[in-house]
Amino acid sequence: MQDLLYFSQQLINGLTIGSAYALIAIGYTMVYGIIGMINFAHGEIYMIGAYTALIAITGLTALGLAWLPLILIVALLCAMLVSSSMGWAVERVAYRPVRGRHRLIPLISAIGMSIFLQNYVHLAQGSRNIGFPALIEGGFNFSADGAFEMSLSYMQITIFITTLICMTALSLFISRSRTGRACRAVSQDIGMASLLGIDTNRIISATFIIGAALAAVAGLLLGMYYGSVDPLFGFIAGLKAFTAAVLGGIGSIPGAMLGGLILGVSESMTSGYLSGEYKDVVSFGLLILILLFKPTGLLGKPEVEKI
């Protein structure tokens, strides 16, 4: 019983982190699916989302607003607005001019952008980590005989529910809306889509905006869950989310969700049963193994190189 509770605790922690990873991974996978580049600066967009949310929460609290759901929703909207503007601007400045060149050129440009954004926040907000107030406290506790308690906090529930809402909204958007249909068309064949009258530049911008907005949601959730933010906050999370995207099959949206959950669970199992220090080793090791043995991921389509 004891072991089972411990295992379920790790599972819950893993699913919590994993669903947030999935939110970030969507941004990687959509961009890769459409223009075939790794948006290395995506982790920084997520970090900026977390910072903006914190700024908004602090500001609103200082203004005397007390109703928690309103604070959270306004902070979320602010974070999404700033992050998606950032995503749009980054694409415009750093990626559009180099689109269609040799594969490494957009990647190097993206790495430059990532360094730039990291230091932008570092210079503006300082390099120290800043505590994120725990606004959602408490939770359910289960215990077998009082020895080990398994807890499911309200924060974790919030993360699950928010992720679920975002994912459902995204799926509906992609499958039903006109822009979503255009997104799918562009990811299948960008040349053909533009021949059929789809403004591909607009769709690519839309992809960046959607990805950045979801990353901002993850930024708010994870910032609150971990309890602090710093300018390097996005780097590792971005790598993890990229791993999740690759794990599920890059380019595939359901794949990113699945990959995020698997990665989150395997990470929390490592820290639960082996050692917390090696959880990053496990996720990077996982990434390397997948890329070596099944580069298409779990749900991805094989990529054919055309001559």
Partner 1 sequence: MAANNMRHALFCAIVTLIISFPILGLSLEAKGVNITLSGAKTSTYVAIVLAAVAVFVFQTFRDTFMGALGKLPNFNPLAGREPMEQTKRVKLESWLLTGIVVFALFWPFLVSRGSVDLATLVLIYIMLALGLNVVVGLAGLLDLGYVAFYAVGAYTFALLSQYTGISFWMALPIGALLAGLTGMILGFPVLRLRGDYLAIVTLGFGEIIRILLNNWTTLTGGPNGIGGIPEPTLFGMEFGRRVKEEGNTSFHETFGIAYSGEHKVIFLYLIALVLAVITALIIRRFMRMPVGRAWEALREDEIAARSLGLSRTAVKLSAFTIGAFFAGFAGTVFASKQGFISPESFVFLESAIILAIVVLGGMGSQLGVILAAIAVTILPELAREFSEYRMLIFGAAMVLMMVWRPQGLLPVRRIQITLNKQG
Instruction: Closer to partner 1 by CB, 51 or 163: give it.
Output: 51
Nearest approach, Cβ of residue 186 and partner 1 (Å): 19
Pairing of strands 139-143, 130-131: unpaired
Task: Return d(Cα 274, Cα 297) in angstroms, integer.
Answer: 26
Instruction: Closer to partner 1 by CB, 150 or 300: give it.
Output: 300
Nearest approach, Cβ of residue 206 and partner 1 (Å): 14
Instruction: Closer to partner 1 by CB, 226 or 284: give it.
Output: 284
With beta carbons less than 8 A apart as the criterion, state whether 42 and 241 touch: yes
Nearest Cα residue to 193 out of 183, 205, 206 = 183
| Residues forming beta bridges with residue 151, ordered by sequence position | 141
With beta carbons less than 8 A apart as the criterion, state whether 99 and 85 touch: no
199: left (phi over 0), alpha (psi -120 to 50) or beta: beta
Nearest approach, Cβ of residue 52 and partner 1 (Å): 5
User: Which residues here bind partner 1, judged by CB under 8 A?
Assistant: 37-38, 48, 51-52, 54-56, 58-59, 62, 78, 81-82, 85-86, 88-89, 93-94, 97-98, 101-109, 111-126, 128, 130-131, 133, 235, 239, 242-243, 246, 275, 277-278, 280-281, 284-285, 287-288, 291-292, 295, 305, 307
Nearest approach, Cβ of residue 94 and partner 1 (Å): 5
> Which of the 8 DSSP states describes residue 152?
E
With beta carbons less than 8 A apart as the criterion, state whether 112 and 97 touch: no
Instruction: Closer to partner 1 by CB, 59 or 272: give it.
Output: 59
Instruction: Closer to partner 1 by CB, 37 or 222: give it.
Output: 37
Nearest approach, Cβ of residue 198 and partner 1 (Å): 19
Q: Give the total residue count for the chain.
A: 307
Nearest approach, Cβ of residue 188 and partner 1 (Å): 20
Instruction: Closer to partner 1 by CB, 62 or 195: give it.
Output: 62
With beta carbons less than 8 A apart as the criterion, state whether 169 and 26 touch: no
Instruction: Closer to partner 1 by CB, 30 or 54: give it.
Output: 54
Instruction: Closer to partner 1 by CB, 17 or 94: give it.
Output: 94
Task: Return d(Cα 183, Cα 174) in angstroms, integer.
Answer: 7
Supply φ then ψ for residue 139, to 5 degrees: 165, -175
In 154-286, DSSP assigns E strands to: 228-229
| Residues forming beta bridges with residue 142, ordered by sequence position | 150
Please give the structure tokens belonging to residue 277. Answer: 């220090």
122: Cα separation from own chain's centroid: 21
Nearest approach, Cβ of residue 252 and partner 1 (Å): 16
Nearest approach, Cβ of residue 263 and partner 1 (Å): 13
- Burial class from Cβ neighbours inside 10 Å (0-12, 13-18, 19+) for residue 221 reads buried
